[in-house]
Amino acid sequence: MSRQAGVFSRLIRWATRSHFSHAALIFLVPKPDDGFDSVFVIESVPSGVDITNLRHYAIDYSDAYDVAIRRLEKEWFTPDVQRLVRGRMPNFIKAEYDFATIVAIARSVLQRLMFGLRMRLSGLEPTLRRTYARGGLAPASFICSGFVQYGFIDAIRSLVREGKLAPAALDDVLFGASLTPQSGTVQILATTPEDVAATPKLAWKYVVIGRQVHPVASAADAARLLGRRAAW
């Protein structure tokens, strides 16, 4: 996703040299028989982990966001495996803000700005390593795509260890160009929204702009639509 307005969206796009500033994982799809008819995503946000109706980005705030949808299309990626990937995401939901939370968020504004500057100068992975070495935590807005990448890798690693999937399946979910099957947590969290957008391992399906859903079959198709948006 890309938010057209907002200082932190612009900071992330500038720091990662990308059109995109955010990534999330489709968590639930419409199931009218079960009582819901919306698409929900699970994502890392500044206040923690949240489940958000996709309508928020694609409809309610369509003037502010571009949304691109990509899909892993592998025969082994069955509904059971998909559920396992989703289940590996942190098991908590954003709580309502209290005064302490508001103070903490205000304090984190400068930290996020400094993190973005260091990231632009040194790259995401070195910046993450230095942050964690000092006992700090990376701003959630900068590791949203790493959060998605971690869910895939952690779930598939477990299935490979159990002999339920071939080791080659792990290669299919390494979206960051520098990742290997042995990559550690910091390397995984250093996956950027641009890595998710650029990887050839995910199929392009749709771009949503101004409440209009455009089927796309390639990065070139998506770039043409997003380029038109930038021109507008």
- The domain of 197 spans 2-231
Split at pLDDT 50, 70, 90, the class of 122 is confident
pLDDT higher than threshold 80 for residue 3: no
Record the pTM: 0.75
Long-range Cβ contacts of 48-52 (<8 Å, 24+ apart): 48/90, 48/92, 48/93, 48/94, 48/95, 48/140, 49/89, 49/90, 49/92, 49/93, 49/94, 49/147, 50/93, 50/94, 51/27, 51/93, 52/24
**Cα-atom radius of gyration of the chain, to the nearest Å?**
18
Q: At 78, which amino acid appears?
A: T
pLDDT of residue 6: 66
Of the ranges 9-18, 44-53, 212-221, the best mean pLDDT one: 212-221
Tell me, rounded to whole angstroms, the distance of Cα 59 from its chain centroid: 19
What mean pLDDT is predicted for residues 101-128?
A: 61
> In the chain, how many domains are there?
1
Of the ranges 60-64, 105-109, 126-130, 186-190, the best mean pLDDT one: 60-64
What mean pLDDT is predicted for residues 97-115?
A: 50
Find the range with the poorest average confidence among 42-56, 75-89, 144-158. Answer: 42-56
pLDDT of residue 113: 57
Q: DSSP for 50-98, please give it.
A: EEEETHIIIIITTTTEEEEEEE---TT--HHHHHHHHHTS-S--PPPP-
Proportion of the chain above pLDDT 70, given as a percent: 72
Q: At 116, which amino acid appears?
A: G
